[in-house]
Amino acid sequence: MLGQMMDHPLLISDLLTFSAQYHGDTEIVTRTVEGPIHRYDYRSAARRSRQLAQALARLGIEVGDRVATMAWNTHRHFELYFGVSGMGAVCHTLNPRLFADQLTYIVNHAGDKAVFVDLTFVPLLEKLADQLQGVEHWVVMTDGEHMPDTSLPNALCYEDLVEAEDGNYDWPSFDENTASSLCYTSGTTGHPKGVLYSHRSTVLHSYAACMVDTLRLSARDSVLPVVPMFHANAWGLPYASPLVGAKQVLPGPGLDAPSLVELFEQEEVTTTAGVPTIWLGLLQHLRDTGKSLGTVRRVVIGGSAAPRSMIAEFQERHRVQVVHAWGMTETSPLGTVGTLKSKHEGLSEDARLDLQAKQGRAVAGVQLRIVSDDGAEQVQDGEAFGELEVKGPWVVGRYFRTEGEALRDGWFPTGDVATIDHDGFMQITDRAKDVIKSGGEWISSIDLENEVVAHPRVAEAAVIGIHHPKWDERPLLVVVAKPDDPPTAEELREFLQDKIAKWWMPDDIVFVDELPHTATGKISKKDLRVRFENYELPTA
Ligand code: ADP
- What's the pLDDT score for residue 189? 62
Distances (CA, A) of 459 to 280, 446, 454, 491: 8, 15, 9, 15
Q: Which helix (H) or strand (E) holds 296?
A: none
Of 57-66, 94-103, 214-223, the one with minimum mean pLDDT is: 94-103
Categorize the per-residue pLDDT at 440 as very low, low, confident or very high, splitting at 50, 70 and 90.
Answer: confident
Across 120-137, average pLDDT: 98
Q: How far is the CA of 318 from the centre of ligand 1 (A)?
A: 26
Across 294-316, average pLDDT: 97
The model's pLDDT over 197-253, given as tens digits with 9 standing for 90+, comes to 999 999 999 999 999 999 999 999 999 999 999 999 999 999 999 999 999 999 999
Count of residues making up the chain: 540
Q: How far is the CA of 333 from the centre of ligand 1 (A)?
A: 9
Rounded CA separation 520/233 (Å) = 12
- What's the pLDDT score for residue 301? 98
Choose one of 184, 326, 358, 525 to mutate for the ligand 1 pocket test, by most ligand atoms within 8 angstroms of C-beta: 326
Check: CB of residue 121 under 8 Å from CB of residue 70: yes
Ligand 1 atom at shortest distance from the alpha carbon of 324? 23
Does the beta carbon of 524 sit less than 6 angstroms from any atom of ligand 1? no
Rounded CA separation 459/346 (Å) = 32
The model's pLDDT over 321-332, given as tens digits with 9 standing for 90+, comes to 999 999 999 999
The model's pLDDT over 529-540, given as tens digits with 9 standing for 90+, comes to 999 999 999 998
Rounded CA separation 435/529 (Å) = 12
Return the number of other C-beta atoms located less than 10 Å from residue 511's C-beta: 15
186 pLDDT higher than 80: no
Categorize the per-residue pLDDT at 521 as very low, low, confident or very high, splitting at 50, 70 and 90.
Answer: confident
Q: How far is the CA of 284 from the centre of ligand 1 (A)?
A: 24
- What's the pLDDT score for residue 507? 96
Check: CB of residue 152 under 8 Å from CB of residue 138: yes
Helix (H, G, I), strand (E, B) or coil at 404: coil
Does the beta carbon of 430 sit less than 6 angstroms from any atom of ligand 1? no
Rounded CA separation 277/129 (Å) = 32
Does the beta carbon of 335 sit less than 6 angstroms from any atom of ligand 1? no
Ligand 1 atom at shortest distance from the alpha carbon of 231? 6
- What's the pLDDT score for residue 403? 86
Question: Percent of the chain scored above 90 by pLDDT?
Answer: 94
Does the beta carbon of 328 sit less than 6 angstroms from any atom of ligand 1? yes
Rounded CA separation 373/92 (Å) = 35
Q: Whose CA is nearest to atom 27 of ligand 1?
A: 304
Provide the annotated active-site residues.
185, 330, 437, 442
70 pLDDT higher than 90: yes
Check: CB of residue 435 under 8 Å from CB of residue 443: yes
Q: How far is the CA of 326 from the centre of ligand 1 (A)?
A: 7
Across 173-186, average pLDDT: 96
Does the beta carbon of 303 sit less than 6 angstroms from any atom of ligand 1? yes
- What's the pLDDT score for residue 188? 59
Categorize the per-residue pLDDT at 520 as very low, low, confident or very high, splitting at 50, 70 and 90.
Answer: confident
Ligand 1 atom at shortest distance from the alpha carbon of 415? 14
Phi, psi at residue 212, to the nearest 5°?
-60, -40
Helix (H, G, I), strand (E, B) or coil at 263: helix
Choose one of 522, 524, 527 to mutate for the ligand 1 pocket test, by most ligand atoms within 8 angstroms of C-beta: 522
Categorize the per-residue pLDDT at 61 as very low, low, confident or very high, splitting at 50, 70 and 90.
Answer: very high
Structural domains in the chain plus CATH codes: 7-24+39-203 (3.40.50.12780), 434-531 (3.30.300.30)
Across 109-120, average pLDDT: 98
Mean pLDDT, the chain, whole residue set: 96
Does the beta carbon of 232 sit less than 6 angstroms from any atom of ligand 1? yes
Contacts of residue 272, Cβ cutoff 8 Å, sequence gap at least 6: 223, 224, 225, 226, 260, 264, 296, 298, 299, 300
